[in-house]
Amino acid sequence: MSERVSVTEVRNALRCPRLFALGRSLGRSVAFPVGSSCLGASFHRVVERFAQTVSAPPARFAQLPSGAARDEVQAQLCDWLLELLMDELEQDPTYASMPGEVDDLAEALRELGRHLSARLDPFTGPPAQALSALMHSGEQAIEARLNGTGPIVSGRLDALYADERGRIDVIEYKLTDEANDEVDRAQAALYREILRAVRGVDARPVVLRFSPLLREVSMRPEHADEFLRTRVLPLVERMPDWASEPALAPETPRQDLCAACPVARECKESYPTRLPARDDPPVGAARPRPGPSAGLCPPEPLPEPEPSEEDAVGRREAEALSARILKELERQGTSAVCPHPPVVGPTLYLIQVARPRGAVRHLDSAAEDVRHRLASQDGVEVEYEKRGGHRRFIVRRLQPRPVRLGPLLLRRREYLTERPGRFIVGQCPDGEVLCGDLSDASTPHLLVAGQSGSGKSVLLQSLIASLVQYHPPGAIRFTLVDPKRVTFNGAAFRGAVSAHLDGPVRSEVEYVLPVLEQLIQLMEERYRLFERAQVSDIGEYNEQVSPPERLERRVLVIDEFQDLITDRASTQAFFESIRRLGAKARAAGIHLILATQRPDRNVVPPIIRANLGGKIALQVASATNSRIILDEGGAEKLLGKGDLLASLGRGVVRAQGPLLG
């Protein structure tokens, strides 16, 4: 039986006992990715160097007199910390590729400077002397056997602060988001308990969370003790048993973490009992199952949709509108006919008109009056469209028919299952299902744009759901970034796609540049692999290797990517990454879907348009916005709520985006 556990292992066990047990049995440290920060270690190194130099501060700070203004103390502390950061940056050239992250790191250090200057206010004497008293210690290793019966718990606390009365705070610095709040508080409470056991010090646990703005989370001692007694210590006492017999470790109470677990494969091998969050396909998805011959067998067929009475109502309404339009044209002295029955779409009727004889310009001159009369007398919204020699009225249905993703998936199942990367955009007015393919050289990446209320968020959800519908996580995986915390926040959506995510949905824009850099590195690694295998792309490679060795397609989806380019320092790095991936990533099976509600020239410059071949425009504010996306107008006239124009290598096509379900 193991008699020693680390505080990091306790954090893992709080998330999932099996995560801890597997880490022990595999003999390796397991780092859980939820809320992780790529520059957390950099922050800790800078702050530790700061703590080590408190006894010999820079001359400018050492010369500050007693009673110096807080603003002056704060300015000197921030300069001191930033000078240490500059030393850190100069030692590692890779920081140059992460300007946005470095800016946030600098802001976090400024926040620390502000926090320390406020803590110094109650002290007497010069600030240098007060700071030396405040910074009781920096990082230090510490361990103890808690309750006298459990294992020895060891770790390395970040800092100890002392106030003007000598009362101690045990400090944990965190550059993670609130997803880790419980384990962060548990860590601080553990260090408080260890400190009390080995030194008899009754400290207050405090978490300083920089994101990069500072949020201080402190625990009252009695609350920390209760949390430790009821939640943490019972788990710590059981951990040696799980380490010696991993089969005893129970499943996690937080099954939302399974999709991001770094040992998910080993978990399934070690704990074969079915765990829905880990083993079940996404909600509503038909994941391929092993078959006797081809390796995969198709999902069980879904029932064919029955004809809808609503469509019959729509046909009658469209025919009545056709007669009404012809009557209005005749009233103006323009004879016309409808050469084809009207097209009954889910949100639109397409009514083609023609002149049996005479010039078509007579239709054009009468069309505007027809539009106004139908709007004023019938309350019907009408557009008049000219395409070559063809003329048609586009009429908005008074009662639109919802377009559901499920029936569209059923209709195009054969197409979608042929290879991963194919997706559904929506339903065209003539009833055809509009599809796309990320493996197509003309549409390996997508630009999606539409103003608020246009249906952009629902469309993104449907695109992703259609990509995962018939393919397992081993074939396609997603990284999702949602700065507004709205698009990918629904429980139903997350449940449907969680198995295909390579981590939690992220809201921090600073997370994107490191991810783009990782995808570039992955792209180059795959090309070296293809060169050794003498193949040209991911499709050929996967045909030559056994199923366990096949490469999955990787898709990065960023909603509201304009938030990434508000900082000039990160803009160039972002655009350069898009250029490199846009030019080369398709064959490596790496794809981008970028969405914005601000399709202006600053947000969607030529480098974005040139490298994102597939373009989908929902309703936008102006014809200029439409031309920026599609190179032609029209999106400003769309109806909202999923009405869209798509350019997927075959000209611009109108469709209605589907709803999940």
Q: CB count, 10 Å around CB of 455?
A: 23
Q: What is the pTM of this model?
A: 0.54
Q: What is the pairing mode between strands 135-137 and 159-162?
A: antiparallel
pLDDT at 284 over 60: no
Contact 219, 189 (CB under 8 A): yes
**Position 186: which residue type?**
A
Question: Is the pLDDT confidence value at 58 over 70?
Answer: yes
Distance, CA of 138 to CA of 161 (rounded, Å): 9
Higher pLDDT, 300 or 61: 61
C-alpha distance from residue 16 to each of 118, 241, 551 (Å) = 38, 15, 28
- Asked, for residue 572, whether it belongs to a domain, the answer is no
Q: Indicate the pLDDT class of residue 35, thresholds 50, 70 and 90.
A: very low
Residue 131 has pLDDT above 90, yes or no: yes
- Tell me how far apart the 2 most distant CA atoms of the chain are, in Å: 102
Please determine, for residue 291, whether its predicted confidence score (pLDDT) is greater than 70. no
User: What is the pLDDT, as a whole number, of residue 491?
Assistant: 64
pLDDT digits (tens, 9 = 90+) for 386-398: 876 678 888 888 7
User: What CATH number corresponds to the domain at position 540?
Assistant: 3.40.50.300
* 330 pLDDT higher than 90: no
Q: How far is CA 479 from CA 254, 304, 499, 526, in A?
A: 20, 33, 12, 18
- pLDDT-derived band at 66 (thresholds 50, 70, 90) equals very high
For 422-449, the pLDDT digits (tens) are 999 999 988 889 999 999 888 999 999 9
Higher pLDDT, 312 or 115: 115
Residue 391 is part of which domain span? 312-396
Following DSSP, what letter does each residue of 259-320 receive, concatenated?
GG-TTHHHHHHH--S--HHHHSPPTT----B--SSSS-BPPPPPPPPPPPHHHHHHHHHHHH
pLDDT at 342 over 70: yes
Average pLDDT over residues 498-502: 84
CATH number at residue 333: 3.30.980.40
**Are 104 and 212 within 8 A, CB to CB?**
yes
At residue 84 the predicted structure's pLDDT band, cuts being 50, 70 and 90, is very high
Q: Is 199 a member of any domain? A: yes
Question: Which pLDDT score is estimated for 297?
Answer: 35
- Do 324 and 374 form a contact (C-beta atoms < 8 A)? yes
Give me the pLDDT at residue 417, please: 92
Look at residue 402 and tell me if it is in a domain: no
One domain for residues 597 and 479: yes
Q: Which residue has the higher pLDDT, 472 or 565?
A: 472
Q: Residues 321-346: what's their mean pLDDT?
A: 85
Q: Are residues 391 and 424 in the same domain?
A: no
Q: Is the same domain home to 222 and 104?
A: yes
437 shares a domain with 382: no
Which of 231-235, 471-475, 560-564, 575-579 bottoms out in mean pLDDT, i.e. has the lowest? Answer: 560-564
Number of domains in the chain: 3
- Helix, strand or coil for residue 28? coil
Q: Residue 298 has what pLDDT?
A: 36
Q: Which residue has the tokens 């908005």?
A: 396
Report the chain's mean pLDDT, rounded to a whole number: 84
186-208 per-position pLDDT tens digit? 899 999 999 999 988 899 999 99
Query: Is the same domain home to 426 and 381?
Result: no
266 in a domain, yes or no?
no
Among the three residues 246, 261, 294, which one is the final residue of a domain in this structure? 246
pLDDT score for 572: 83
- Do 531 and 646 belong to one domain? yes
Banded model confidence at residue 36, pLDDT cuts 50, 70, 90: very low
Classify residue 509 by its DSSP letter.
G
204-247, pLDDT tens digit by residue?
999 998 877 888 888 888 888 888 888 889 999 999 999 888 88
HSE-CB for 244 with a 13 A CA cutoff: 9
Query: Looking at 289-303, 352-366, 638-652, which range is the least confident one?
Result: 289-303
240 in a domain, yes or no?
Answer: yes
pLDDT higher than threshold 70 for residue 16: yes
Which of 311, 291, 81, 79 lies closest to 173, judged by CA? 81
- Give the separation between CA 639 and CA 633, rounded to whole angstroms: 14
What is the per-residue pLDDT for 585? 92
**E strand spans, 67-203:** 135-137, 140-145, 152-157, 159-162, 168-174
Percentage of the residues of the chain whose pLDDT score is greater than 70: 89
For residue 590, what pLDDT band results from cuts at 50, 70 and 90?
very high
